[in-house]
């Protein structure tokens, strides 16, 4: 993308944590029966699984660099948050998610600090209450019961704990043509002792 195009373009942005590969693999194994039973659901790619701390929506691309220095500083001052993937549920019978367990107080504190950084950068966003979850799939409009059945099948899942060691600034292609939503790290920063 040329600099001229970039200055007039927008990007859909959020700030998130991502489970490590071992935690994602553990959940993916538990999801195998659901993948087979409900192939028509729109399953998120495992590499895109994340826990959103602040959803900023569509931003001018030129605004995004303002977030980098204060987010890097925030990450450098924070210790990893100990989390686990646990249970499941759904939003409006359309979205299947895995729950988040662990140090939820620290997770909410981190989300609050991230949102304060965004506000201090002068970026307006919809500041919804944090509902920690990891989105797994969306039902097709003609088959909402598949989400309910998949959530029931995953309700007893209890993954091993892990330290969330990096803060991610993520862009997505949501609403930009057909096909699944894709995410890419714009940048990420390791927490203090996050290795």
Cα 162 to Cα 144: distance, rounded to the nearest angstrom: 32
Using one digit for the tens of pLDDT, what is the confidence trace for 41-72?
999 999 999 999 999 999 999 999 999 999 99
Give me the catalytic one of 90, 108, 133, 168: 133
Pick the catalytic residue from 50, 90, 108, 168: 50
Closest by CA to 111, choosing from 100, 98, 127, is 127
Catalytic status, residue 108: no
The Cα–Cα gap between 154 and 175 comes to: 29
Q: Based on the residue annotation, tell me whether 168 is a catalytic residue of this protein.
A: no
Among residues 98, 96, 100, which one has the least CA distance to residue 111? 100
pLDDT tens-digit series, residues 112-158: 999 999 999 999 998 899 999 999 999 988 888 999 999 999 999 99
Q: What is the dihedral of CA 68, 117, 188, 186, to 10 degrees?
A: -60
Q: Who's near 178: CB < 8 A, 6+ residues apart?
A: none
Largest Cα span, the chain: 51
> Domains in the chain, please, with CATH?
9-190 (3.90.1140.10)
SS3 57: strand
């Amino acid at each position: 993308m040329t600099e001229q195009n970039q200055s007039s373009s927008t990007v859909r942005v959020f700030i998130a944590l991502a489970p490590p590969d071992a935690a994602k693999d553990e959940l993916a194994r538990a999801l195998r029966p659901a993948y087979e039973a409900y192939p028509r659901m729109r399953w998120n790619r495992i590499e895109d699984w994340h826990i959103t701390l602040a959803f900023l929506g569509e931003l001018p691309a030129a605004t995004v660099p303002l977030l980098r220095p204060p987010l890097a500083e925030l990450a450098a001052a924070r210790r990893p948050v100990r989390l686990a993937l646990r249970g499941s549920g759904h939003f409006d019978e359309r979205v299947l998610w895995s729950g988040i367990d662990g140090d939820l107080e620290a997770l909410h504190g981190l989300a609050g600090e991230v949102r304060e950084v965004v506000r201090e950068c002068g970026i307006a966003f919809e500041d919804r209450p944090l509902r920690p979850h990891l989105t797994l799939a969306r039902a097709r409009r003609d088959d909402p019961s598949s989400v309910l059945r998949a959530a029931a099948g995953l309700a007893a899942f209890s993954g091993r704990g892990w330290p969330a060691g990096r803060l991610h600034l993520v862009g997505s292609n949501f609403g930009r043509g057909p096909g699944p939503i894709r995410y890419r790290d714009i940048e990420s920063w390791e927490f203090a002792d996050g290795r």
